[in-house]
Amino acid sequence: MHDEGGNVMKEQDRNDSKNMLDRLMNCLPKAVYHQVPNILTSIRLVGSIALAIVIALTGVTNPLLMGGLATLTIGTDFLDGRIARRYHLESKLGVFLDAAVDKVFAWGLAIALLVSGGLPLTLGLISLLPIAVRDLAVTVITAKDKYRDGMLKQQQELLQEGKHVSDAISETENNCTLGDHLAALQKGEAMLPTLPAKIKTWTSSIAIISAIVFGIGNLPGNLLYGLGILGSYGCILADIPKVVKNAKRREEERTDLFTRFVDDIEKNIDPSTKEKWLHDTQEVAPKLVQPKDSEFDAMLDQIVDFMENDTDDLQIVRSHDKVYQKKGNKHE
């Protein structure tokens, strides 16, 4: 009976907090309402940079205050995501900002501690290097995937406008300006972070904040810093294969999507130009999705080979050339 009463009270508390958040959100102007998650993420960005500069210039002069500010700063990472999901305010910009600012927080404070001496240089370089390599690899993979997704969308738009396949390739690949590349990067859908990646953000934050509050060279500081770093290593081992698998899965989905897209255009094309269109499409369409000997796929395969001894269980994406070879045989 007591447990039931306790559960009722907890449920009531949760409802009260939701109602309070609802009231606060409803008080905001419409323009602000839709940007609340991005505003919180921007606050985390500014707070991270400001705190990192202070620590780098003055050192950790007030461990409790600085540690508290760091905790409040990273705490917005939980709040912005919760609000975005609850009020359906997710956006491409929000996904990008959230991941980027997480890295600014962790690496800004880590570098500041190294510069100020709050984190011994040798210990910092050895313990943080694997995390740095992981962050760089995942950033390259996700950015490349997002760019390819946006490039495909641009090419589909050109084909819908009646452009010939070769013209679509020329306009989106051969004659691209920097602005065109950035537009493709902005238009693409970003891969969502994996659960291990989000956990790594918190474990690495625990390590950094413990170094601020307790320092290194004492039992609490050493213990919390070590646990945070080891937890991050575990997340890295779980995260990298997931990211690679997601990138390969999305590449396969894009191939299938483009195949269906070409089929739809083929059904409505002018019969007088259909034969030439089909020939040209089978010749060059694979380039729209992925060039031959893709460095991107080669990089993904190398990462998988490095991170996993047995790669037989991975679903390797079908060759785009084979996909279109099948289409070519069908029409012969």
**Same-domain pairing of 315 and 326:** yes
**Same-domain pairing of 255 and 125:** yes
Q: Is residue 17 part of a domain?
A: no
- How many C-alpha atoms does 149 have within 13 Å on its Cβ side? 21
Q: Is residue 26 part of a domain?
A: no
Instruction: Among 118, 133, 164, give the residue marking a domain's end.
Output: 118
Per-residue CA distances from 113 to 54, 74, 106, 118, 121 (Å): 10, 17, 11, 5, 9
Q: What is the 3-state secondary structure (H, E, C) of 236-281?
A: HHHHHHHHHHHHHHHHHHHHHHHHHHHHHHHHHCCHHHHHHHHHHH
CATH number at residue 44: 1.20.120.1760
Among 172, 143, 170, smallest CA distance to 155 is for 172
Q: Is residue 324 part of a domain?
A: yes
**Same-domain pairing of 293 and 198:** yes
**Same-domain pairing of 176 and 87:** no
**Same-domain pairing of 175 and 89:** no
pLDDT of residue 314: 35
Q: Would the pLDDT of 311 be above 50?
A: no
Question: What's the chain's average pLDDT?
Answer: 75
Chain centroid to Cα 120, Å, comes to: 30
Among 143, 38, 149, smallest CA distance to 101 is for 38
**Same-domain pairing of 101 and 136:** no
**Same-domain pairing of 57 and 101:** yes
Q: Is residue 6 part of a domain?
A: no
Cβ 40 vs Cβ 76: under 8 Å = yes
**Same-domain pairing of 324 and 211:** yes
The count of structural domains within the chain is 2
pLDDT digits (tens, 9 = 90+) for 135-178: 988 888 888 888 878 777 777 776 666 665 555 555 555 555 55
**Same-domain pairing of 106 and 146:** no
Per-residue CA distances from 101 to 41, 42, 43, 44, 198 (Å): 7, 8, 10, 7, 13
pLDDT band at 273 (very low <50, low <70, confident <90, very high): low
pLDDT digits (tens, 9 = 90+) for 9-30: 455 555 555 677 788 888 888 8
Q: Is residue 200 part of a domain?
A: yes
Q: Is residue 251 part of a domain?
A: yes
Q: Is residue 24 part of a domain?
A: no
Question: What pTM, to 2 d.p., does this model score?
Answer: 0.70
Burial of 202 (0-12, 13-18, 19+ CB in 10 A): middle
**Same-domain pairing of 270 and 310:** yes
Read off the tokens for 9: 């009270």
Instruction: Among 53, 88, 118, give the residue marking a domain's end.
Output: 118
Q: Which residues contact 158 (CB under 8 A, 6 or more apart)?
A: 167, 168, 171, 172
**Same-domain pairing of 101 and 144:** no
**Same-domain pairing of 133 and 106:** no
Q: Is residue 2 part of a domain?
A: no
Domain residue limits at 161: 119-332
- How many C-alpha atoms does 65 have within 13 Å on its Cβ side? 7
Instruction: Among 80, 102, 118, give the residue marking a domain's end.
Output: 118
pLDDT digits (tens, 9 = 90+) for 59-113: 999 999 999 999 999 988 888 888 888 888 888 778 888 888 999 999 999 999 9
Cβ 240 vs Cβ 137: under 8 Å = yes
